Structure 1
């Protein structure tokens, strides 16, 4: 009764071993591009801090025309040790900045990450991030889907 189970395991193990020895490498055309269907990012820019060592801010506009609701949970910025999605909120009758909950998007939604509102804070920046260059920002949705886009880097005094 156990012989069929052992035979199946042996065949499965042999197949895995042969697949591991294969000479064919995965070509770029076989790798799915990173992106969330229906999510479009425009007007992206990173504003460097006026004082070295402080965090940078990333702003952009989102247009979502996907087929179902989407929750953006977090962000990653290439060249930063960590990134946090922030928003301005009222606390004790004063406006304060804090970490925002997941951004819930429905098909047709348009949202701006802009000065004085939603934005991504990028902490502990690499010295390689300099005005005139670019970096990559990745938005991570609930469930793990990712959407990456290029972001031009601007000096602190540039127009936002």
Structure 2
């Protein structure tokens, strides 16, 4: 009788383990790309006149999302790093500095333009050339990304 109980217990355990293995594996969820309500327009990268210097990316951002977010960081394909910059007064002089996170709420519109807020692309690949394109991504608090295509312009072209 003991032998039958042990066999039944082993059979039950085997069936339970087999049952666990029968469910189809769930595919790994990819990081969500796209921020609901965020629209990027008028994007362009202006290369530096001196090769090796940072490039600037300008664009218009409209936010109509229902959740408040904050611009946190950015990435640019073909650049080793990217960061948001703005101008501010320091010791009576206007200077460029790294931008603090920018909160966004429904209805906000921000222009990233020469002389103001902009995205700097550091250590730009020599493969990024005027007339080509690259991709930039804005990352907000919580990690969601908004990717957008960026046409590349030469240093002397219209910004």
Structure 1 length-normalised TM: 0.82
Aligned equivalents of 2:110, 2:101: Cα separation in 1: 13
2:25 pairs, out of 1, 14, 19, with 19
Q: Is the contact made by 2:32 and 2:145 (CA closer than 8 Å) also made in structure 1?
A: no
Give the 3-state SS of the residue equivalent to 1:15 in structure 2.
helix
Does the C-alpha gap of structure 1 residues 13 and 152 become closer, same or farther in structure 2, counting only changes over 3 Å? farther
Whether 1:114 and 2:120 are equivalent positions in the alignment is no
CA RMSD between the two structures: 2.8
Larger Rg: 2
Corresponding residue pairs, total: 147
Runs of 4+ in structure 1 over 2 Å off: 10-20, 30-33
Q: Is the contact made by 2:69 and 2:141 (CA closer than 8 Å) also made in structure 1?
A: yes
Q: Is the contact made by 2:135 and 2:150 (CA closer than 8 Å) also made in structure 1?
A: yes
Give the 3-state SS of the residue equivalent to 1:49 in structure 2.
coil
Q: Is the contact made by 2:76 and 2:134 (CA closer than 8 Å) also made in structure 1?
A: yes
Gaps of 5+ in 2: 1-8
Aligned equivalents of 2:36, 2:153: Cα separation in 1: 28
Give the 3-state SS of the residue equivalent to 2:62 in structure 1.
strand
Gaps of 5+ in 1: none
Whether 1:69 and 2:64 are equivalent positions in the alignment is no
Aligned equivalents of 2:77, 2:19: Cα separation in 1: 39
Corresponding residue of 2:143: 144
Does the C-alpha gap of structure 1 residues 12 and 96 become closer, same or farther in structure 2, counting only changes over 3 Å? farther
- CA apart distance, 1:12: 9.0
